[in-house]
Amino acid sequence: MSSTADTLTIDIPVIDIAPFIANEAGSADVVRAVEAACRNLGFLLVTGHGVPKDVTARLYDTARAFFDEPQEWKVGQGRGTSEIGGVAFSPIADEALAATMGLKTPGDFKESLNYGPRLPGDAWPSKPSGLESAFEDYFSEMEILAGHLRRIFCSAIGLAPDHFEKEFVDHLSALRVINYPEQHVEPEPGQLRAGVHTDYGFMTILRSEASQGGLQVRNRDGEWLDAPSIEGAYVINIGDAFMRWTNDEWVSTPHRVANPPSGYGGTARRQSIPFFLNPSKDTVIECLPAFAGQGAKYEPITYGEYIKVKTGQAFSKG
């Protein structure tokens, strides 16, 4: 389970979206390629996205400096829920993502910093300097990229390009930097870096990192596949809310982060940066007419109601 040796590396499509962003010839090919990937696997890699390297590097580096601080200091940081737009720190084993799939496992072997302009957090730590602005600047870049991707989705489905925009005026998106520490002791039975789960929202834009013990994706046949990590490319995956909007035709695929194989423990630190693109609280998730041919599979639900159930499961201590 923890080894990557028994899994295959998938052919996740790598799609250059620059022609779509620039509205050039080739735009329609981008849309078709994205649609095919979202229907088949629910995962793709994008290049030509326009996110500046230095904004990404600054967030990666400042967050790393935070994670390098002693545990005793870190656990006192970002633990409240008092400030909207503050930061929240989640220490090792705080969250067990597999609980969202009804599985009982030890907490995930990871720690994370979490931020969203409309999400609760606490005061930003006094060090490292520049942490808050690094999060804000990267968040703004993700909003721009998410806008391009939403328009690609609309184009694929035959919707007006701005179809979803009103749902994202007050969006509840979350930016998270995750540190998967070196594993000097064997993890507990059933403990992974991140347990199997699907993401909850519209889509996730992930800055992955190649390492021993990385992202794995379960395809529609139930096989676990190692997701490739390409420097400078973003991994995009569909979330549950969008899967419901499409009546399950676009797939929110289960994924997990494997442990490094024994022996790699001390050299296998990994840091990833997911941006969870979530609609506003009152957005009604309801089968889109284009997918309603055989009847809607799910009752409409607001995003606020859906997310409450999922986060309650992931952080429950029962």
Ligand X SMILES: O=C(O)CCC(=O)C(=O)O
Is 240 among the residues that bind Fe ion (CB under 5 A)? no
Alpha-carbon distance 168 to 150, whole Å? 10
Alpha-carbon distance 153 to 29, whole Å? 13
Closer CB to ligand X, 34 or 215, in the complex:
215
CB of 276 to ligand X, least distance (A): 7
The CA radius of gyration of the chain, in Å to the nearest whole number, is 19
Identify residue 139 by its one-letter amino acid code. Answer: F
**Which of 4, 77, 191, 272 forms a contact with ligand X (CB under 6 A)?**
272
Is 268 among the residues that bind ligand X (CB under 6 A)? no
Closer CB to ligand X, 78 or 239, in the complex:
239
- Segment 240 to 259, residues that bind ligand X, using CB under 6 A: 255, 257
**Which of 96, 177, 215, 225 forms a contact with ligand X (CB under 6 A)?**
215
**Which of 111, 141, 167, 199 forms a contact with Fe ion (CB under 5 A)?**
199
CB of 295 to ligand X, least distance (A): 31
Half-sphere exposure in the Cβ direction for 148 (13 Å, CA):
23
Q: Which stretch binds Fe ion (CB under 5 A): 26-34, 74-82, 191-199, 264-272?
A: 191-199
CB of 306 to ligand X, least distance (A): 16
Which x/- pattern over 173-212 shows residues binding ligand X (rule: CB under 6 A)? -----x---------------x----x------x-x----
Rule CB under 5 A: which residues touch Fe ion?
Answer: 199
Rule CB under 6 A: which residues touch ligand X?
Answer: 178, 194, 199, 206, 208, 215, 255, 257, 272, 274
